Amino acid sequence: MRIIAHKFKLHKAGNRAEEYEDAMHGGKVMLGGVPHYRFAVADGATESPFSGLWAKILVHALTDGVFDEGMSESDLLTLRRQWEGQIPSSAMPWYMEEKLREGSYAALAGLILVPKQGHPDCGIARLRTVGDCCIFQIRRKGMRSFPLTKSSEFNSRPQLLGTAHRALPPGSLLTREWEWKVGDTFLMMTDALAAWFLQKKESGDPAPWEWFDGAPNSDKEMRWFEEAVESERGEGRLKNDDVTLLKICIAK
């Protein structure tokens, strides 16, 4: 079994590239001699300070296995302190002091692929989400999504993971287990692209995932993605926000 991961991203129109506040990461880890794969995407909240930094800390935590068994308060506290430690410590204007007091926020989605013992071509997919980043599984001509299943479910007030030292409300972390097998594709997206994707399906497109296969070749796929997203934004079909896509193909 081979994992082929494609990463796509584009910052919000009107912002500079360095103002992109999503994050994604993925990789293989050997556990007991067996390869496991962990992938994560996160979406830093627009109004939060240093939210891109918080999103990066969260995706690395997930791919390091911190959330394999759940999301404990002590794990979150460690990550919060990590964020605080990376904030510039020089004297800040009054509004940054207040902003930092409010803290930073992000949505997170994680995917952990665990092969079945003795069967490397199939296994269990463990999904972990807080907020409205979404994971889609594509198999032949079918698709399922988690945690949101309709474009109407997206709103401006999802549950988010914050750096302020408060307990995560019960029910914030959503988990699911699916089965995977060779030939499956997983798509992980932050909210703007996920909502657009679901809307495309709802509008009658039987295979919206084929849209992501439109790149002329692998060398040009990022440029193709950027132009395609800009076109969708221009037509008003895709909300102007940072866009992130992690496409995971499971091959033999």
Partner 1 sequence: MPYTAEISRNNPSLVIFLIDQSRSMGERLGSGDDRRTKAQCVADALNRLLQNLVIKAAKSDGVRDYFWVSAIGYGHPVGSVLSKFPSHNPVPISKIADSPLRLEQRVRSNPDGESQQVKFPVWIDPKNHGWTHMCAAFQLTRDIVQAWARERSRSFPPLIFNLTDGGATDGDPSLPAQDVMSAVTEDGPPLIFNMHISSHNQQSIKFPDSPSGLPEAHAERLFRASSTLPESLVALLQATGEPARSGSRAMVYNADLGSVISLLNIGTSAAHLAGAR
Residues that bind partner 1 (CB under 8 A): 12, 14, 19, 45-47, 49-50, 93-99, 101-102, 105, 156-158, 160, 166, 192, 239-242
Residue 122 CB neighbours (<10 A): 15
Q: Which is nearer to partner 1, 132 or 184 (CB)?
A: 132
The CB-of-166 to partner 1 minimum distance in angstroms stands at: 8
The CB-of-5 to partner 1 minimum distance in angstroms stands at: 26
Residue 211 CB neighbours (<10 A): 13
Burial letters for 137-175: b for 16+ Cβ neighbours within 10 Å, e otherwise?
bbeeeebebbbbeebeebeeebbbbbbeeeebeeeebee
The CB-of-50 to partner 1 minimum distance in angstroms stands at: 5
Report the DSSP pairing between strands 142-146 and 161-162.
Answer: unpaired
Could you tell me which residues are beta bridge partners of residue 109? 41, 129
Q: Which is nearer to partner 1, 47 or 179 (CB)?
A: 47
Give, to the nearest 10 degrees, the angle between helix 51-63 and helix 73-86. Answer: 130
The CB-of-102 to partner 1 minimum distance in angstroms stands at: 7
Report the DSSP pairing between strands 119-130 and 105-116.
Answer: antiparallel
Q: Which is nearer to partner 1, 56 or 126 (CB)?
A: 56
Polymer length of the chain: 252
Q: Which is nearer to partner 1, 12 or 200 (CB)?
A: 12
* CA dist., res. 153 & res. 20, Å (int): 24
The CB-of-26 to partner 1 minimum distance in angstroms stands at: 24
The CB-of-11 to partner 1 minimum distance in angstroms stands at: 11
* CA dist., res. 10 & res. 174, Å (int): 27
Q: Which is nearer to partner 1, 28 or 166 (CB)?
A: 166
Q: Which is nearer to partner 1, 97 or 227 (CB)?
A: 97
Q: What's the gap between Cα 105 and its chain centre?
A: 14
The CB-of-245 to partner 1 minimum distance in angstroms stands at: 16
Q: Which is nearer to partner 1, 6 or 99 (CB)?
A: 99
Continuous H helices in 87-123: 94-102
